[in-house]
Amino acid sequence: MHIPNALISLLPLGLLAVAVRLPAPSGPYNVGFTQHIFNHSTPNDPTPGPGTSYLTSIFYPTRSSLAPNTSVPYFDPTSAAIWGEVFNILPADLESLETTLQWQAPLLSAKDDVERVKDRPTLVFSPGGGMNAAYFTSLLSDLASQGYTVLALDHPGEAPYLPLPYGNPGVVGWDIYMPYSDALIVEIYQFRRADMLHLLGPSGFPALVETYGAYFNTEAYGAFGHSIGGATATGAMDRNRNIIAGFNIDGGLFGDSVNASMHGRPYFMTMNPNHLAQDADSWPAFATRYYNESKTAPGWLDWTTVEGSAHLAFSDVALWVELLPQIPNTTAQVDLGNVTGTRMDSLLKSYAGAFWEFVRGGEYDGKLLDGEVEEWPEVVFNARVRSNGTQGY
Ligand SMILES: *[C@@H]1O[C@H](CO)[C@@H](O)[C@H](O)[C@H]1NC(C)=O
Ligand SMILES: *[C@@H]1O[C@H](CO)[C@@H](O)[C@H](O)[C@H]1NC(C)=O
Ligand SMILES: *[C@@H]1O[C@H](CO)[C@@H](O)[C@H](O)[C@H]1NC(C)=O
Ligand SMILES: *[C@@H]1O[C@H](CO)[C@@H](O)[C@H](O)[C@H]1NC(C)=O
Ligand SMILES: *[C@@H]1O[C@H](CO)[C@@H](O)[C@H](O)[C@H]1NC(C)=O
Ligand SMILES: *[C@@H]1O[C@H](CO)[C@@H](O)[C@H](O)[C@H]1NC(C)=O
Ligand SMILES: *[C@@H]1O[C@H](CO)[C@@H](O)[C@H](O)[C@H]1NC(C)=O
């Protein structure tokens, strides 16, 4: 290939990383993206962060087409250096990841577009412990492309580094290798739950929406999260009945989320095959209690295992490892099981998509939600609760 000299001089020496794009979102819309810093105090914040705010990233459907000058970068250089070292990926390669997100792209304006999306629950997401919400961009973008508004939370100081928008300095957090004690995990759960409840409360997202006069739904929410984010979503559901359903991605229940009452709200849980080795009690107890409650009230619960997966395979990390080269003669220091990032990515998008479609009152994909299917043989069902009593636990 002949590259004109003028172009060669533009390439940083030794950093010939070719842009790699995440799998394209599957829905009919393109994806807009913005961020907002909410003031909210965390008394005695255990993290090195200031404890005065949290960051919300907002993914939403748009008809605007992706242009290079509006695409939001995936990694900032500081985070790329930190995470690259952990997974033996060159920071330049991590920085080469491209999203399909468009910074502050116009909202939908056509009347039928707005009609199609405005009554969907707004989905609120909490990432895995120590991880930035950005590392779930693929799933979050996909849901936005289906028509959902998705709010993803970051608590400054928890992740090793959190870049902040609008010229604010990024926040350096806990060291990436710092072990979490059981007591600290409960504290993390508590400040995250408080952040999520604030976001859904009157001075959070609803106030922001009112300021901008946007059509986003501030009446009905769905909560979901990975790892400790699953507990966050569940604990928030216990306290806020505007959350109409929950989706727990491989997250043990901590603190008082172990006793959260769902009042029959749909709840989907999916885990890696070793989940119960680390968390023997919280999921079986939760499912049993849910089943008990559903005998006298409505109820809908799915509990699945993804055979062959591991905890971080339920995040974009599995995509980084699959799509980007390893530093020569190293292997990724991460257990992803025997699954690949791209398959896990489309698996999770399929099940989360089917679940939220059912929750919003769209089509019920009984094929996917009611049991094993040929297309996804690695997804096995451990329990199902249905209020009409036709399928037991
Ligand atoms: C948050 O607080 C800072 C200063 O304490 C203030 O400048 C900023 O406007 C506040 N942000 C919002 C969204 O209220
Ligand atoms: C992006 O590029 C397009 C042309 O490709 C131009 O019309 C538009 O103004 C640019 N937007 C920004 C934010 O620079
Ligand atoms: C959960 O409920 C049980 C039974 O009421 C109680 O013993 C336990 O202390 C509760 N756990 C938490 C963390 O609130
Ligand atoms: C479920 O109900 C059974 C009997 O109705 C009871 O023995 C058991 O303690 C209950 N379990 C939970 C977790 O609520
Ligand atoms: C992947 O691991 C699961 C067990 O976790 C096993 O059932 C499956 O056969 C494995 N698949 C391959 C292709 O090795
Ligand atoms: C990688 O390992 C191979 C075989 O052990 C060796 O020949 C090669 O020089 C190594 N490359 C680097 C970059 O260390
Ligand atoms: C019970 O609910 C399931 C799932 O919602 C549905 O597939 C099934 O047809 C229902 N059965 C009856 C008898 O209503």
Domains of the chain: 5-391 (3.40.50.1820)
Question: Which amino acid, one-letter code, is at 114?
Answer: V
**What are the tokens at 156?**
């400054």
What mean pLDDT do residues 279-302 have? Answer: 90
DSSP state of 292: H
Give the pLDDT confidence of 193-246 residue by residue, as tens digits. Answer: 999 999 999 999 999 999 998 999 999 999 999 999 999 999 999 999 999 999
What mean pLDDT do residues 349-368 have? Answer: 97
Query: With the C-alpha atoms ordered 378, 382, 386, 391, is the resulting torsion angle positive or negative?
Result: positive
What mean pLDDT do residues 37-64 have? Answer: 98
Q: Residue 20: phi, psi to the nearest 5?
A: -120, 125
Residue 12's pLDDT is: 42
Give the pLDDT confidence of 111-168 residue by residue, as tens digits. Answer: 999 999 999 999 999 999 999 999 999 999 999 999 999 999 999 999 999 999 999 9
Residue 307 contacts residue 330 (beta carbons within 8 Å): no
Q: What lines the ligand 6 site, CB under 6 Å? A: 328-329
d(CA 207, CA 201): 9
41 touches ligand 4 (CB under 6 Å): no
Residue 296's pLDDT is: 75
Residue 391's pLDDT is: 54
In the structure, what pLDDT confidence band is assigned to residue 392 with cuts at 50, 70 and 90?
A: low
Closest by CA position to 74, among listed 205, 163, 182? 163
pLDDT at 274 over 80: yes
Task: Give the residue, by CA position, lying nearest to ligand 3 atom 3.
Answer: 259
Q: How wide is the angle at C-alpha 225 spanned by C-alphas 168 and 270, nearest 5°?
A: 155
Q: What's the 389 CA to ligand 7 centre distance in angstroms?
A: 8
Residue 330's pLDDT is: 82
Q: Are strands 300-306 and 171-172 parallel, antiparallel or unpaired?
A: unpaired
Q: Which atom of ligand 6 is nearest to the CA of 328?
A: 13
Alpha helices in 17-169 (DSSP H): 77-87, 91-95, 111-117, 137-146
Helix, strand, coil percentages (3-state) for the chain, rounded to 5, are: 35, 20, 45
**What are the tokens at 213?**
């006069």
What mean pLDDT do residues 70-74 have? Answer: 88
Task: Identify which has the larger pLDDT, 294 or 79.
Answer: 79
Residue 334's pLDDT is: 85
Computed over every residue of the chain, the mean pLDDT equals 93
DSSP state of 55: E
Task: Give the residue, by CA position, lying nearest to ligand 7 atom 14.
Answer: 388
The bound ligand whose nearest atom lies closest to the alpha carbon of 335 is: 5
